[in-house]
Amino acid sequence: MQNRIQELRKARKVTQQELADALRVTRQTIISLENGKYNASLTLAHKAAQFFGITIEELFVFEGDENL
Amino acid sequence: MTMEEYRKKLTFRQRLAICMCLAAPSSTWLIRSLAGEVTEYARGLLAGVLVSGILIGAFVAARMTVLLKNEDKLREQYIKATDERNQAISRETSRAACLILLVALYLGIIVSAFFSITVSLTLFCVLQVFALAVFGSFFYYKGKM
């Protein structure tokens, strides 16, 4: 699963630490999410989508078997 | 877990650590008096348990006190403790460690059987207890989720 976290974060000039503080996770989690090493839980995905003011589907790109 | 719940958890840990510090000397004395004459090894083991109990208890109590008195450090620790990636890492670590332990025990039972039946049987008992703990935990969480 890919995501647009880095793209949206940079577009809004938000640092990784600021995003981490807002989502109440560590900066390392943001780095792992941006690198695609870690997939967010539904709760974190919801919080991230809320932070950027978009839907989960717009923030996370579901590919292949991840779709019905 | 909310920040307030985490604070309560740390307060509980702080109290537990203080109790551990206080209980270590008395429980060691109690064990020694109940056991009567003990071997040199048992005396050394008890002394080790006493010293480590006090040191660990004091360390944890001091750490909890620092965290509970400093709001910034508490928040930082709260985020670290509740961070879902850290929790996922812990879960994976436990799973991998269990698997490694299981394989090591299995191999240990086979290899030690050639040298010492006592060691082999002890490892076999450890394996049984381990398996019971795994099955117990599995059914507990199966019922919870």
What is the domain class of A2-62 according to CATH? mainly alpha
pLDDT confidence bin for A66, thresholds 50/70/90: confident
Residue B93 clears pLDDT 80, i.e. is over it: yes
B5 touches A: beta carbon within 8 Å: no
Chain A residues closer than 8 Å to B76 by CB: none
d(CA A59, CA A1): 11
Residue B43's domain spans which residues? 1-82
* Co-location of B70 and B9 in the same domain: yes
* Co-location of B64 and B109 in the same domain: no
* Co-location of B30 and B51 in the same domain: yes
* Co-location of B94 and B140 in the same domain: yes
Question: B6, B82 in Cβ contact below 8 A?
Answer: yes
* Co-location of B21 and B64 in the same domain: yes
> Could you tell me the two tokens for A50?
């809320």
Beta-carbon count within 10 A of B83 CB: 20
Chain A residues closer than 8 Å to B84 by CB: 25, 29, 40-41, 43-44
* Co-location of B110 and B60 in the same domain: no
Beta-carbon count within 10 A of B6 CB: 18
* Co-location of B124 and B64 in the same domain: no
d(CA B4, CA B108): 46
Tally the domains of chain B: 2
ipTM score of the complex?
Answer: 0.87
Residue A20 clears pLDDT 90, i.e. is over it: yes
What is the distance in angstroms between the CA of the first residue and the CA of the last residue of chain B? Answer: 17
Residue B94 clears pLDDT 80, i.e. is over it: yes
